[in-house]
Chain A
Amino acid sequence: MPTESYVLIIDPSEDCCFLLEKVFAHKCKLAAVGLSSGRQALELVAEREPLLIVFDLRLPDISAKELITRLRQTPAGRERILIGTSTQGEEAARNFLRSGELNAFLSKPLDLEVFVKTVRRLLRHHH
């Protein structure tokens, strides 16, 4: 378990988790934790606050709506940076964006350049 600040990646695809971990490590110099389970991720978040959370909207064990709601329900949660990704379902994502529940949404396949820019912008803006 990393003890320093970290970013949390939640994605059912191990490939993707690994890819993003690599991206964060090499491009942003950030430690990343990749999880395929949303519930495990929530436990981790409760344990230690991540810098930001990138997650796929289609997770096997939890719906995006529930995940977002639980991540946002605490006062601290409202300040979290949440980036959604998905191969589809842009409409739903747009609603989350509009209500401010998601800070950003990127569709898969990810354009790594755009991804990195977005992450950097959000981190800069927030801190």
Chain B
Amino acid sequence: MNKILVAVIAFGYLLLLFGLAYYCDRRRAQGRSLIANPYIYTLSLAVYCTSWTFYGSVGKAANEGLTFLPIYIGPTLIAFLWCFLIRKLIRICKLNRITTMADFLTLRYGRGFLLGALVTIWIIIADMPYIGLQLKAIATTFALLVQEPLPPVGQVPFYQDNAFYVSLILAVFGALFGARHLDPSERHEGLVAAVAFESVVKLIAFIAVGLLVGYVLFPGVGTIFSQALERPELWKLFFLHQQSVNSYGVIFVETVLAMAAIILLPRQFHMMVVENTDEKHLLTASWLLPLYLLLINVFVLPLALGGLLLGYSPAQGDTFVLLLPLEHGYPWLALLVFIGGISAATAMVVVVSITLSTMLLNSLIMPLLARLWREKDWSHWLLNLKRAGILLITLLGYLSYRTIGPVTMLVEMGLIAFAGVAQLAPALFGAMYWRRATGSGAIAGLAAGYAVWAYTLLFPYLIYADWFPESILTDGPWGLSFLRPTALFGLSDWHPLTHAFFWSLTVNLGLYISVSLLTQPSADEELQISRFVDVFGVPSEIGLEPRATNLPEAPQFEALAAKFVGQERAREAVQDFIQANKLEEAASWTDAEKLKLRDYIERLIGGSVGPAAARVVMDGYLASRGSRLEGVFDLVGQVSHSLEESREALKQRINELAILNEAAQHTTSSLSLPQILESILRLLRDKIGVDQCSIRLLDEDGVLRLESYLGPEELPKEELDLKPDMSTLVGQCLLNRKLISIPDTSQLAPEEVTGLHPAEQQASFILVPLATESQALGVLCAASKTKKFFPPEQLDFYRSLANQVSLAIHNARLYEKIIRFSRELETKVAERTLELKNKSLELAEANRALKELDRLKTEFLANVSHELRTPLNSILGYTQLLLDGVDGPLNEEQQKSLERVEKAGRRLLQLINDVLDLSKLRAGRMTLNLEQANMHDILSEAVQTIEPLARAKEIELRVEEEEVPPLLVDRDKIVQVILNLLSNAIKFTNPHGRVTVQVHTVTLPEQPGVLKDYVAVKVSDTGIGIKEEDLQNIFKEFVQVDSTMTRRAGGTGLGLPISRHLVELHGGRIWAESEYGRGSTFTFILPIREKEEKPAAAEAAPLPSRKVMALTRRGGLIHILKEALIPLGFSFKAEPAVEGILAEASKGNLAAVILDFLAREVPFWNVLRLLKTQESTRLVPILPLAFADDGRAGLVIGPTEFLKYPCTPEEFLAAVTSLEAWISYKEALVIEPQAEAAAEWSSILQESGFEATVVGNGEEAIRHLENILPGVIVFNLGLPPAEFVRLVAFIRSQAETFLVPLLCLLPATLPVQTEQQLAQELKEVLNPKKFPVANFIRQLKRFFSKIATESA
């Protein structure tokens, strides 16, 4: 066809479109919109079908068969969701004046520059090839139509390239349609109309070709199919999954991509969302658009197959639509097809260029420019910038056509774009539905998705275009095969599209979700989340505004807006705002209203320049004016709003709560039940306004009684007593614990008995059960003269009130019970106390009386014995004198009589002594003078005493004695016992009989708490014996077996009881065995308490050669020592000075040296040291003795007490107390190196009234003693020995301190070394408490026998 003609027609067609658009714009300006109908809206959406559909589908079908379909099936499948999805999108965009996808995301994700820029750049990159594709289509088809060969792309300079001019023309059209004037809403009705018109044209053109091929060139579509089926090489076109391009995976991916693309492609977003005039149009679109897609696809397969059947190659598929009419004699139809193709391409290019230009401006350019020139009036500039943008986009499209166009098919470019925009899906849908989505997540997801998409899908085409070496495809970049763009991480054998789709969306979605979850939305995002996610739920904008200071007024805002949208539009907008918010013009607005205007203006500007730029502009503007926003959200506004909504309900509720609160105060402030009940009823009457109310309570007999009543008239209380059962409403309320409300008593069924007094049944009433969890208590009744006075929503209030009353009743009753119980208890306690008091008084009295009696008895016995002894003294004395013949010789009779007197007197004396002994023993007043005694000595003494008696009766006295250990006993008492037994034995044994004494040890079987080893003394005789029945009585007082015998034998009968007491007092036992007529055996055993001592043999083997020296000049001590030592076989000499001792020692053979500790003229410790350093005395044992001057002390090394520790505080105190006599001041010096122990000692001392000073060692102690004299010195023998010796030396050498008592604390385990050293220094420490001389001598003996043994 003629080239010029075609060009003119094509141009004319474009002019027609422009005319249409212009007309529509004018109509719109006049307020009579042409396009505001669902059909035009739907047709405008058919911009989806570009030249790719128009030409490319047939090409795809000719090559791959059915794979052209997913692109249309996808949108069809998802169309039913548009009503929700796109409606929400539209609402959000309208509300926020959003004009591009990038703005949408920018606004939602925090108005950052980055996200918008990212989206914009990538959308442009993704769409450029797509624009290029349109240009290519136009250029190719034009060349075909005019039958000129199309020079290979890129080989002609651009000024000779048709496509270049096409792009310029399209850019002009874009500017004409989209940027003729500023419109912040970015709505272009003219464009919509033009696009819709084009949609009709391309559909008609396509169907016309379809009909031509299907019914003119071929007899029918059916024929085409049947002919195609006869050609096996075409079969693959009928089936899926025959090759990689039509595998199920690819089909699926393409379907999904198309689902997203119908919304996400920039042109779709623009036409569907931005250009939408009415959300309802979506309803039509959701069925009409799928229908359109169906129609435009009906003839795709027939055209493809027809073309192939007519002998065209599949490679020509893209041009079948044009070639078939052109080459089969229908040039005009071909022209129509060309026009249709132009329609498809121009619609796409124009819409996309306008959209992308807006996006570029809003997301990239304006945010930058707005930062640079804040105060600039942009209204004129904006338009030009936009036009420049359109041109730029179109030219970029041309550029991509020239670069990658030659190497790709049309469809591939489309799919690349599809996959690119699909990356927006997570962020976009998340923006609408996911609250946790954050800007960081969106950026991360998008960036990664784009990167993977570019790498896996776009990059290979660049490789095909020879921009990069092909080895990257086969071996991976830098030989890293897992990074091969089409087989990422080894995912090979997938179709590149599926592969790219899988990886890019996986990475995108994964990062979007995970980063969102890891980050927190910013404050601005928080605000937007509800505006987006809850777009349908946000009724108003109350309460979410920050407070501000120094805000501009409306005119200033208007001026600001004018810079971006022009004066007129700005003024209109402000007027609209004032009207919409019912504000008075120029009136003093509140901050909240100004802020509202601010946002309104910002959105208005945002419509022109995008939200990111608008935010920059607004912030900059406000900052320049010194306005300040404070991050305090006006929650009061929100609260007051919700308050208003339910003010009445709230008022009611608050009232109820107040009443409940008051009721709670009443119930807790009193425990008097009537008072509580009355206060509750008063509340009901005064605060709720009931006319009558009452409370009935169950009494103990199960009768419901009126307890409290408030109403106009008095009720006869007693008549209202009621046994509750199900026949009355009151009973039902109580028993079922169910609230009964009668809103209208006239509706009450006649058979229903309320159980109330007629006066209580007003127009309406309620019965509320009072109960605890376990127990029904009663019924609360309230009545009103008004019908329906008790609304259902108030019943909960009554229940709450009833709960409170129930609790109060329960508490009050409990309280009553407790009071009653406690009174009973008090009475009982008082009675008991009195009783006990009396009893204890009686007891005390009795006890006192008994004690007195005991005292009297002892006193009496003592007195009696005195009174008896005095005359006895005379009786016996004179009798003896007479018998001695003092008063002259006596005749025989006189002699005999006097002897009888004397005998009777002696017997009386014995009796008195025994009685006295016994009474002492029984009263526990007998004290034992325990000493270490040898059984042999004791026995000898007794036998010697009794021997004359035995001899007189000619009785054989036999002693059989084993060697036994010494015993700790009162020697005299044991002698007494043995004498008793022997004298008894002799008494009751006939002449020529035999009495035997045996001594031996016995060992009892081991038993806890019982000593094991005993010495047994057995006295047996061959006497008359004791009857079995008498055996148990013989140890009782005043019992003698045969009184006649006693009389004959003489005796008091008290001997055995006394013996028993004495033995038991020693911890022993006594018993008797007898065979009547043949003799008796008396045995007693005594415990062996000390097993220590050397046998008496040592004592008996002295070493006469040894000499004991004493350093003293005191006669008393010398005397005692002499008397003690000489019998032991020692020679003894006392010296007044140490020199004497040393002189004596040099002669050799000193057994021991006794040092008089208290000999003041010779400092004890000096002497000790001296003796210990001299060779002659170094090894001589030294016995320090102290013999105090004042007479009360016995032998001491100064007053000293020893205490082994660990010990109890009591033991410690006992030790201190034993030194009490010596303690002059209640001040103690504690020498203790261990802080813990020191603290313990001093605290114990302080408790018993001492002041304690603690020092850590002997040195310190000495320093302390030089200044202060303590009452007692407590020190640890665990001190190093040297220190100890020095310390004691010091203490005992000073006149002031030498009588200060010491308390030595001996560690339970004294270090061996210390013990040895101590033993060397002080051979023996005599117990200072044992004063008796006998004891002292015994100790001396022990000491010296030890020396004797040691030296032996």
In the complex, whether A15 has a CB less than 8 A from a CB of chain B is: yes
Selected from A16, A26, A98, the residue in CB contact (under 8 A) with B877 is A16
A49 vs B606: C-alpha distance when bound (angstroms): 146
A23 vs B886: C-alpha distance when bound (angstroms): 9
Chain B contacts for A108, CB-based, 8 A: 869-870, 872-873
Chain A nearest CB from B898 CB (Å) reads 14
Convert A93-110 into 0s and 1s, putting 1 for each residue whose CB lies closer than 8 angstroms to a CB of B: 000001100000000111
A15 vs B874: C-alpha distance when bound (angstroms): 6
Given A22-B886, A88-B866, are A109 and B873 also a contact pair (CB < 8 Å)? yes
Taking a contact as CB atoms under 8 Å apart, the answer to whether A110 and B877 are in contact is yes
Taking a contact as CB atoms under 8 Å apart, the answer to whether B865 and A88 are in contact is yes
Chain B contacts for A19, CB-based, 8 A: 873-874, 877-878, 881
A31 vs B862: C-alpha distance when bound (angstroms): 34
In the complex, whether B957 has a CB less than 8 A from a CB of chain A is: no
In the complex, whether B490 has a CB less than 8 A from a CB of chain A is: no
In the complex, whether B1333 has a CB less than 8 A from a CB of chain A is: yes
In the complex, whether A87 has a CB less than 8 A from a CB of chain B is: yes
Chain B contacts for A98, CB-based, 8 A: 1332-1333
Taking a contact as CB atoms under 8 Å apart, the answer to whether A110 and B873 are in contact is yes
Chain A contacts for B873, CB-based, 8 A: 13, 15-16, 19, 87, 108-110
In the complex, residue of chain A having the shortest beta-carbon distance to the beta carbon of B913 = A107
Chain B contacts for A16, CB-based, 8 A: 870, 873-874, 877
In the complex, residue of chain B having the shortest beta-carbon distance to the beta carbon of A14 = B874
Which positions 877-932 of chain B face chain A at CB distance < 8 Å? Answer: 877-878, 880-881, 884, 886, 905, 909
In the complex, whether B876 has a CB less than 8 A from a CB of chain A is: yes
Given A19-B874, A98-B1332, A98-B1333, are A87 and B869 also a contact pair (CB < 8 Å)? yes
Taking a contact as CB atoms under 8 Å apart, the answer to whether B866 and A109 are in contact is no
Selected from A13, A58, A88, A112, the residue in CB contact (under 8 A) with B881 is A112
In the complex, whether B1191 has a CB less than 8 A from a CB of chain A is: yes
In the complex, residue of chain B having the shortest beta-carbon distance to the beta carbon of A13 = B870
Chain B contacts for A110, CB-based, 8 A: 873, 876-877
Chain A contacts for B884, CB-based, 8 A: 26-27, 112
Convert B967-983 into 0s and 1s, putting 1 for each residue whose CB lies closer than 8 angstroms to a CB of A: 00000000000000000
Chain A contacts for B870, CB-based, 8 A: 13, 16, 87, 108
Which positions 13-51 of chain A face chain B at CB distance < 8 Å? Answer: 13, 15-16, 19, 22-23, 26-27
Chain B contacts for A113, CB-based, 8 A: 880
Chain B contacts for A22, CB-based, 8 A: 881, 886
Chain A nearest CB from B872 CB (Å) reads 5
Given A16-B873, A87-B870, are A112 and B1332 also a contact pair (CB < 8 Å)? no
Chain B contacts for A23, CB-based, 8 A: 877, 881
Chain B nearest CB from A92 CB (Å) reads 13
Chain B nearest CB from A73 CB (Å) reads 14
Chain A nearest CB from B970 CB (Å) reads 13
Convert A70-92 into 0s and 1s, putting 1 for each residue whose CB lies closer than 8 angstroms to a CB of B: 00000000000000000110000
Given A26-B886, A87-B870, A99-B1191, are A109 and B881 also a contact pair (CB < 8 Å)? no
Given A13-B870, A98-B1332, A98-B1333, are A109 and B865 also a contact pair (CB < 8 Å)? no
Most buried by B among A23, A110, A112: A112
Given A13-B873, A16-B873, A88-B866, are A109 and B886 also a contact pair (CB < 8 Å)? no
Taking a contact as CB atoms under 8 Å apart, the answer to whether B869 and A109 are in contact is yes
Chain A nearest CB from B1193 CB (Å) reads 13
Given A98-B1333, A99-B1191, A109-B909, are A87 and B865 also a contact pair (CB < 8 Å)? yes
Chain B contacts for A88, CB-based, 8 A: 862, 865-866, 869
Chain B nearest CB from A124 CB (Å) reads 19
Chain A contacts for B880, CB-based, 8 A: 112-113
A16 vs B869: C-alpha distance when bound (angstroms): 11
A59 vs B623: C-alpha distance when bound (angstroms): 125
Chain A contacts for B905, CB-based, 8 A: 109
Chain A nearest CB from B113 CB (Å) reads 118
Given A22-B886, A98-B1332, A109-B909, are A87 and B866 also a contact pair (CB < 8 Å)? yes
A4 vs B877: C-alpha distance when bound (angstroms): 26
In the complex, residue of chain B having the shortest beta-carbon distance to the beta carbon of A15 = B874
A23 vs B909: C-alpha distance when bound (angstroms): 21
Most buried by A among B870, B876, B905: B870
A88 vs B912: C-alpha distance when bound (angstroms): 12
Chain A nearest CB from B499 CB (Å) reads 124
A113 vs B877: C-alpha distance when bound (angstroms): 10
A87 vs B865: C-alpha distance when bound (angstroms): 8
A9 vs B909: C-alpha distance when bound (angstroms): 23
In the complex, residue of chain A having the shortest beta-carbon distance to the beta carbon of B866 = A87
A87 vs B1332: C-alpha distance when bound (angstroms): 24
Chain A contacts for B865, CB-based, 8 A: 87-88
A126 vs B1030: C-alpha distance when bound (angstroms): 56
A22 vs B1191: C-alpha distance when bound (angstroms): 39
Chain B contacts for A87, CB-based, 8 A: 865-866, 869-870, 873
Chain A contacts for B874, CB-based, 8 A: 13, 15-16, 19
Taking a contact as CB atoms under 8 Å apart, the answer to whether B869 and A112 are in contact is no
Taking a contact as CB atoms under 8 Å apart, the answer to whether A109 and B877 are in contact is yes
A98 vs B876: C-alpha distance when bound (angstroms): 29
Taking a contact as CB atoms under 8 Å apart, the answer to whether B866 and A112 are in contact is no
Chain B nearest CB from A126 CB (Å) reads 16
Chain B contacts for A99, CB-based, 8 A: 1191
A23 vs B876: C-alpha distance when bound (angstroms): 13
Chain B nearest CB from A75 CB (Å) reads 15
A26 vs B884: C-alpha distance when bound (angstroms): 10
Chain A contacts for B872, CB-based, 8 A: 108-109
Chain A contacts for B877, CB-based, 8 A: 16, 19, 23, 109-110, 112
A112 vs B886: C-alpha distance when bound (angstroms): 13
A87 vs B873: C-alpha distance when bound (angstroms): 9
Chain B contacts for A15, CB-based, 8 A: 871, 873-874
Chain A contacts for B862, CB-based, 8 A: 88
Chain B contacts for A112, CB-based, 8 A: 877, 880-881, 884
A110 vs B909: C-alpha distance when bound (angstroms): 11
A9 vs B877: C-alpha distance when bound (angstroms): 15
Chain B nearest CB from A83 CB (Å) reads 15
Chain A contacts for B886, CB-based, 8 A: 22, 26
Most buried by B among A15, A27, A87, A99: A87
Most buried by A among B871, B873, B878: B873
Chain A nearest CB from B967 CB (Å) reads 22
Chain A contacts for B881, CB-based, 8 A: 19, 22-23, 26, 112
Chain B nearest CB from A81 CB (Å) reads 18
A88 vs B878: C-alpha distance when bound (angstroms): 21
A13 vs B871: C-alpha distance when bound (angstroms): 9
Taking a contact as CB atoms under 8 Å apart, the answer to whether A109 and B876 are in contact is yes
In the complex, residue of chain A having the shortest beta-carbon distance to the beta carbon of B881 = A22
Chain B nearest CB from A11 CB (Å) reads 9
In the complex, residue of chain A having the shortest beta-carbon distance to the beta carbon of B908 = A109
A85 vs B332: C-alpha distance when bound (angstroms): 176
A22 vs B878: C-alpha distance when bound (angstroms): 9
In the complex, residue of chain A having the shortest beta-carbon distance to the beta carbon of B1331 = A98
A27 vs B883: C-alpha distance when bound (angstroms): 13
In the complex, residue of chain B having the shortest beta-carbon distance to the beta carbon of A98 = B1333
Chain A contacts for B866, CB-based, 8 A: 58, 87-88
Chain A contacts for B876, CB-based, 8 A: 109-110
Chain A nearest CB from B1333 CB (Å) reads 6
Chain B contacts for A27, CB-based, 8 A: 884
A87 vs B870: C-alpha distance when bound (angstroms): 7
15 contacts between A and B (CB under 8 A): A15-B871, A16-B873, A19-B877, A22-B886, A23-B877, A58-B866, A87-B866, A88-B865, A88-B869, A98-B1333, A108-B872, A109-B876, A110-B876, A112-B881, A112-B884
Please name the 7 residue pairs, one residue from A and one from B, whose CB atoms are nearest each other, closest first: A87-B869, A109-B873, A15-B874, A19-B877, A108-B873, A87-B866, A109-B876
Given A26-B886, A113-B880, 16 extra CB contacts under 8 A: A13-B870, A13-B874, A16-B874, A19-B873, A19-B877, A23-B877, A26-B881, A88-B865, A98-B1333, A108-B872, A109-B869, A109-B873, A110-B873, A110-B877, A112-B880, A112-B881
